[in-house]
């Protein structure tokens, strides 16, 4: 039986790991390479590196850090941030990424998904979606959660899966940074239309939130979080021990 | 020295780094002379079978690999590289493989319940069949990382490990000096590195 994955997310800017609360107020945490090694040694099942750099200098630094991480960490690496073209896919895959996550790039040009899936396989293409309720409807937000695209989120996900997205990261802006638990209602709606792995993101504050997630929605494949792992509020070995105790398939 | 066959399929960076991490000399190469001089050979691969098999044929390395395997040199295929070891694949048509191990590659969809997702992606536990030196440094039940939509079938006598995903899927095979892992040891943390170490010490 496939195990439920626990995925720390590292937002990287100018070579350092940062984490925003509700996408604002960035705080420096640690060296990405050291943090990645730490997580890999402590039971993380996968890592997400998110490049939040805007400058080309920063981008170069990011690929250097990615290369160094991939040379030292032997679990799957997903890379996102600033992925707009297949050349961007190529750039990060050459540095040792296993999967590439697209968000705004796919909103601007949905064909990017089809093209990348054809070149690198569905399993390589991760669709990341920032979703927020607007008047009771799940809407897709772009630009790091700042801009309402007006697109209905569930339909957008269905369309992207049809084009070859092999995995979906559902990031609920409504619960992100609040630490009150994952957005179960939103995730359930996504699970109903997505026959590819679904990764829950946004809202985890404690171990119990992950247990509730996997027990309530068995179709969710993974839980992703950032600051609670970075600041040690949730320790991955403890989390996984509790998951195993709750009979959730877990890699120990 | 271990030679990692470069025939234009997939990224070999992680594989090369894995051997570096365990202190084993490894070289990415498409040079038949280097393959002949190597102690062992790794045949990697990601993507589609037809494309990979064609590239391997066009490189001429298929003949070299078959000869070296016949001469007794340890060879390990990884993921699609493992699937290439078989006689044929039914991935979008019917394609010929290296034929080093008896069996055929078929869609997972044929054998798993409909409600399970495809590809089989993520960490899954290994169930051993028999006693293989490849697993001398790991334990039954250890998890490794899989990403695949096709699996090796009709190869019962060569299976050394399976993974349960609605069916017992072939996870690893061995026949004499030829080994294959459906999963990615280079992405399977400490367990994966221990499998590569065991291969290096064969």
Q: Are the Cβ atoms of B14 and A96 closer than 8 angstroms?
A: yes
Window from A52-61, B33-42, B46-55 with minimum mean pLDDT:
A52-61
The count of C-alpha atoms lying within 13 angstroms of the C-alpha of B172, restricted to the half-sphere facing its C-beta, is: 30
- Which residues of B sit within 8 Å Cβ distance of A? 11, 13-14, 17-18, 20-21, 46-48, 117, 119-125, 143, 145-147, 164-165, 186-189, 192-193
- Retrieve residue A219's tokens: 């179709």
User: Is 0.90 topped by the overall pTM?
Assistant: yes
| pLDDT of A27 strictly over 60 | no
B10 close to B181: Cβ distance less than 8 angstroms: no
Distance from CA of A243 to the nearest CA of B (A): 15
Name the residue facing B143 among A40, A95, A251 (closest C-beta): A251
Longest Cα–Cα distance of chain B, Å, equals 48
- Retrieve residue A51's tokens: 């490049």
Name the residue facing B143 among A3, A120, A196 (closest C-beta): A3
Q: Give the 3-state secondary structure of residue A175.
A: coil
Q: Give the 3-state secondary structure of residue A121.
A: coil
Distance from CA of A109 to the nearest CA of B (A): 24
Active-site residue (options: A11, A88, A209, A221): A11
Percentage, residues of chain B above pLDDT 90? 93
Q: What's the distance, CA A189 to chain centroid?
A: 18
Band of residue A121 on the pLDDT scale cut at 50, 70, 90:
confident
For residue A60, report the phi and psi dihedrals to the nearest 5 degrees.
-65, -45
| pLDDT of A25 strictly over 60 | no
pLDDT of amino acid A47: 97
A130 is annotated as an active-site residue: yes
Q: Which residue of A has its CA nearest to B142?
A: A251
B8 close to B2: Cβ distance less than 8 angstroms: no
Measure the CA–CA gap between A148 and A139, rounded to whole angstroms.
7
Q: Are the Cβ atoms of A94 and B147 closer than 8 angstroms?
A: no
Q: Are the Cβ atoms of B117 and A95 closer than 8 angstroms?
A: no
Q: Which residue of B has its CA nearest to A195?
A: B117
Q: Give the 3-state secondary structure of residue A27.
A: strand
A49-97 pLDDT, tens digit per residue, is 999 886 777 788 899 999 999 999 999 999 999 999 999 999 999 888 9
Strand partners, B186: none
- Retrieve residue B79's tokens: 């993921």
- Residues 6+ away with beta carbon under 8 Å from B139: none
In chain A, % helix, strand, coil (3-state, to 5) comes to 40, 30, 35
| pLDDT of A23 strictly over 90 | no
Measure the CA–CA gap between B51 and B176, rounded to whole angstroms.
27
- Residues 6+ away with beta carbon under 8 Å from B151: B105, B106, B107, B108, B111, B120, B169, B170, B182
A94 close to A63: Cβ distance less than 8 angstroms: no
Strand partners, B174: B179
A25 close to A9: Cβ distance less than 8 angstroms: no
Residue written as token pair 């694949």: B89
- Retrieve residue A148's tokens: 């309402």
B186 is annotated as an active-site residue: yes
CATH of domain A5-245: 3.20.20.70
Is the CATH code 3.40.50.880 the one for domain B2-200? yes
Q: Where are the domains of chain A?
A: 5-245
Q: Are the Cβ atoms of B189 and A74 closer than 8 angstroms?
A: yes
pLDDT of amino acid A18: 80
Q: Are the Cβ atoms of A71 and B121 closer than 8 angstroms?
A: no
Exposed, middle or buried by CB within 10 Å (0-12, 13-18, 19+), for B99? middle
Region A108-125 average pLDDT: 92
Band of residue A24 on the pLDDT scale cut at 50, 70, 90:
very low
Q: Which residue of A has its CA nearest to B141?
A: A251
């Amino acid at each position: 039986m496939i195990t439920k994955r626990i995925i720390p997310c590292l937002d990287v800017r100018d070579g350092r790991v940062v984490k925003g609360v509700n996408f604002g107020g960035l705080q420096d945490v640690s060296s990405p390479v050291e943090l990645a090694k730490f997580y890999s040694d402590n039971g993380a099942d996968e890592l997400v590196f998110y490049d939040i750099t805007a400058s080309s200098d920063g981008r170069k630094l990011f690929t250097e850090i990615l290369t160094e991480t991939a040379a030292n960490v032997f679990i799957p690496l997903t890379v996102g941030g600033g992925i707009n073209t297949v050349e961007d896919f190529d750039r990060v895959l050459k540095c040792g990424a296993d999967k590439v996550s697209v968000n705004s790039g796919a909103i601007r040009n949905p064909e990017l998904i089809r093209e990348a899936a054809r070149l690198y396989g569905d399993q390589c293409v991760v669709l990341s979606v920032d979703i927020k309720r607007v008047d009771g409807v799940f809407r897709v937000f772009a630009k790091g959660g700042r801009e309402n695209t007006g697109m209905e989120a569930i339909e957008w996900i269905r369309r992207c899966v049809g084009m070859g997205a092999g995995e979906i990261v559902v990031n609920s802006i409504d619960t992100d940074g609040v630490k009150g638990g994952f957005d179960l209602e939103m995730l359930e709606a996504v699970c109903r239309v997505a026959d590819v792995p679904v990764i829950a993101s946004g809202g985890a504050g404690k171990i119990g939130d992950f247990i509730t997630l996997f027990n309530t929605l068995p179709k969710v494949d993974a839980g992703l979080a950032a600051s609670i792992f970075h600041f040690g509020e949730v320790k991955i070995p403890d989390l996984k021990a509790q998951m195993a105790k709750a009979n959730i398939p877990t890699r120990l | 020295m271990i030679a990692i066959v470069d025939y234009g399929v997939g990224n070999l960076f992680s594989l090369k780094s894995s051997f570096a991490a365990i202190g084993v000399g490894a070289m990415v190469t498409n040079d038949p002379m280097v393959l002949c001089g190597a102690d062992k050979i790794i045949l990697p691969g990601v993507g589609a079978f037809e494309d990979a098999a064609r590239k391997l044929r066009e490189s001429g390395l298929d003949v070299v690999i078959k000869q070296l395997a016949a001469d007794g040199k340890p060879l390990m295929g990884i993921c699609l590289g493992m699937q290439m070891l078989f006689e044929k694949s039914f991935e979008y048509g019917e394609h010929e493989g290296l034929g080093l191990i008896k069996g055929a590659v078929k869609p997972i969809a044929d054998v798993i319940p409909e409600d399970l997702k495809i590809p089989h992606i993520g960490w899954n536990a290994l169930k051993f069949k028999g006693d293989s030196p490849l697993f001398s440094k790991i334990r039954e039940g250890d998890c490794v990382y899989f990403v695949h939509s096709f699996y090796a079938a009709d190869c019962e006598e060569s299976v050394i490990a399976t993974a349960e995903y609605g069916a017992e899927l072939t996870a690893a095979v061995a026949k004499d000096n030829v080994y294959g892992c459906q999963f990615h040891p280079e992405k399977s943390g400490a367990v994966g590195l221990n499998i590569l170490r065991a291969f290096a010490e064969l």
